[in-house]
A and B are shown apart, each in its own frame.
Chain A
Amino acid sequence: MDLSRVFFTGNSTMNLERMPNEEKLSLCRRYYLGGFAFLPFLWLVNVLWFFKEAFLKPAYTEQPQIKSYIKKSALGLILWVAVLTTWITIFQHFRARWGEVGDYLSFTIPLGTA
């Protein structure tokens, strides 16, 4: 796989203008599939990056597929945000009360407060 297509390094640009449509679709698909490896940020990047392409540009052949990828990425992203927010809220609120379990789940434990 040509990494310069997935990770833009050096002189490559993030400018989708000059990219042919098949490449745009394949990039979008790669990011969509990559997000399933517990990488919701890939979905976030996918949504932000291809939003204009999918919904604001005039239609072209690959656009419906890109649209569907963006919608599914957005769905996955919202799901992840909901789960993480819920877990973080519960943990911050109840960690002190959980005693031993809370300590084993923590990476750093604050000094001097419960």
Chain B
Amino acid sequence: MCVSSAAGVCSSSVEQKIYVELNETVPCVRLLNATHQIGCQSSMSGDTGVLHVLETQSDLDWILSSGPHPPYMVIMETAFFNRSVMMRMKNSSRVSGVAVIVSKTGLAQNFSPHTTCPNQNTGVYGSELANCNVTVWNPLGNGLSYEDFSFPVFALKDENQTQVIRKCYEDHNQRVNGSAPHYPLCAMQLFSHMHAVTDTVTCMRRTDLQNRFSINPEVLCDPLSDFNVWTSTRPLNSSAKGHAANESVVIAAARLDGRSFFWEQAPAAEGTVSGIITLLAAIQALYPVTQEAPPPRNIFFTFFQGEAFDYIGSSKMVYDMEKNDFVIDLKNVHSILEIGQVGLHSGRSLWMHSDPVSRKNDSVNEAVSEMMNRMESAAAGLSVSVGHPSFSQPLPPSSLQRFLRAGPIPGLVLADHQKSFSNRYYESMYDDAENLNVTYPPGLTPDEQLVYETDAAKSLAEVATLVARSLYLQAGGENNSLSNITADPKTVAQLLYGFLVQKNNSWFRSLLLSAGPGPPQFYIGLGPRIHGPVHSVTRFVQYILANLTGTVTNLTESQCQNPSELSTENKDLFSYFWVSGPASVNSTGEPFCVRASVRLSEAVSPAFELLEYGSRNYSTWTESRWKSIRARIFLVASRELEVMQTKTQQNC
């Protein structure tokens, strides 16, 4: 029974009476690398089960052994989403799916679904120092994100929808005095059938076979890819690839991405945003001084995308540098300063991590010690202090490791942890504004919240000042210009609001078109191959950099798109951005053209360019494709009718 309405939306009145579609759900999808598959899979026609809410230990026993209506669809309270419960579910045949309630009530003190030793196989260390022999970086990690589940796991983020589900459960499924409930029972069906299987090698091979021999080729999986963002204090000619003559460059790096157990959910506040904001604020602080009193060396700022998945962005940049396919190459690099997780230092000191293996070489050791000294002298007038951990401790997981694989380069990683991470929610959905202590007093309008300077903003601004001054000294700048280099807490506050609370704010709107509500998510995604234009976070960082370091020009829109026709503009040295302009109450902004030396570079793992899908040296992560992901609840009157009801599809 299928009636098409005038709007073209097919509605079936009988179906609407049976099923309640759940719109605000977030799935867990399947990811593959060279050897394994991780994530979740459902059957092709969805997995169904009788609902049961997991609130107490007796609920767990009911689901796993004593309940009379298996398989069950588990509605899991936050407190039960941990490794031991999920492993028991995985090994049981009575569980057909899990829907996790995402909330702060009942949240444990720590929850990190990432592994204890992130990116251990693609770093620079061999067997002695890899595998966290010296320091376990993420000891609170339970590895759930890297397990393979054969049932769907969804996250319920919307409180109203969770209430609907709970009501259905309470009305029909609840046990009365310990006896089993009777039919009709409330059931849920989850659809998240993934096309790819086994590993990237298999998936890519099958995609190739489909493309060559099938009439209707289906792509099974896509490599994770996006763009890195880079800029420099002195513009670099982007059409001149390979070694740049007379350029000695100090690289300042931060990562742009994060992840969590569920698809496209990655608030990544302490793990990623703290580093991005620190580097952006440092760039803003440095720019005027480097134009007035330029230091001898160029400073190259870069934001790497995809570092959570075996260093996609940094491995690609190093690969391009080695192949002479980038504006500079490794011989141009003087030193590297990377900003790691810096948000939780709260009055304690920051730590400068260095690599003990390359420091066995005397010249590298000397350069690293000089770098540490410069950083300590830059910290002299500030309220942050810096220290260095023990010499034998290896580097934490960082993009610097990929540069060290190519050769010994002096480098430091700045972080707020001496040994293990201070982040108790590393790479999870709970690494959000609250984890960084970014809270606003009640009663502020969004525009007031945008500029309100929290303590976190002031603290990050201090770190940014430290980074900016250290970079200036490292680039050979003079000591007496240092006091002019100060990060602006207001900019940091605006960045914190935009990256952690609400991306649809007046500042971001003035730079480019509006985005959806809520905070941005930092999962790398599939990039321009699939999703059209650049990922939103990459776009934000690109336009913010243009806003902070660019100059306003009076070009028209068409001139802005094609500046090569004008003799005063140089497309090789600069990029040109057409921005919307600040909107006021009376009118929308007047757009104008900004010229900045901000560029994007592709962040696709070299394994996909070399077609080595089973590579051990490069990231091989891909994301599976799927046809539809949805969830619905309905009442089942009996076991037989349950089978019939699950097979009903919308035939429109």
Contacts and interface: CB of A to CB of B under 8 A. Distances in A.
A103 B203 CA distance: 10
A111 B195 CA distance: 5
Nearest to A111: B195
Interface in A39-85: none
A20 interface: no
A108 B209 CA distance: 10
B206 A112 contact: no
A111 B218 contact: yes
A111 B205 contact: no
A99 B199 CA distance: 11
Interface in A85-114: 99-100, 103-104, 108-109, 111-114
Interface of B is mostly: loop
Given A111-B218, A112-B41, A112-B44, A100 B195 contact: no
Contacts of A103: 202, 205-206, 209
Given A112-B194, A112-B196, A104 B202 contact: no
Interface of A is mostly: loop
A105 to B, nearest CB: 11
Contacts of A108: 214
Interface residues of B, number: 16
A contact residues, range: 10 to 19
A99 B195 CA distance: 16
Nearest to B624: A112
Given A103-B209, A104-B209, A111 B220 contact: yes
A112 B197 contact: yes
A102 B44 CA distance: 22
Contacts of B196: 112
A114 B205 CA distance: 13
Contacts of B198: 114
Interface in B199-229: 202, 205-206, 209, 214, 218, 220
B503 interface: no
Contacts of A99: 202
B43 to A, nearest CB: 9
A104 B624 CA distance: 21
B193 interface: yes
A112 B206 CA distance: 11
Contacts of B209: 103-104, 109
A109 B218 CA distance: 11
Nearest to A106: B209
Contacts of B193: 111-112
Nearest to A109: B206
4 closest A-B pairs (Cβ-Cβ)? A111-B195, A112-B195, A112-B194, A114-B197
